[in-house]
Amino acid sequence: SGAADAVRAEWLSQLRRRIEESKYYPGAARYSRETGTVLLRVEIGSSAEIGAVRVLKNSGSILLAEGALGILRRAGEKPLGTNTLPAGFQVDVPITYRLERR
């Protein structure tokens, strides 16, 4: 329904904002100049809570994967909204780490 789509869109917008606020580059990965993208599957429950998060695809660095999972842990410290949905849903979230040249 349109109302459910609006709630999902609100939650996804909130999730994106929290990910941006929580982003960090793991120190050891930065030091060893590791770059890449970690693709996470995030379960969002019917009450706007972030549930299970798992790595779907990783460019190879365990440090970056752990960092991405940490970002989602921080983003999920509280529900994404106050509305509820009849059922939760899943979303795939890419987190890209790249070092800027100076």
Convert the pLDDT of each residue in 42-101 to its tens digit.
999 999 999 999 999 998 799 999 999 999 999 999 999 999 999 999 999 999 999 887
Q: Which of 100, 93, 83 is nearest to 16 (CA)?
A: 93
Q: Classify residue 25 by burial, with Cβ atoms within 10 Å: 0-12, 13-18, 19+.
A: middle
DSSP state for residue 77 in the 8-state scheme: S
82 vs 39, 88, 102, CA distance in Å? 27, 14, 43
pTM of model > 0.85: yes
Sign of CA dihedral 96, 85, 78, 55: negative
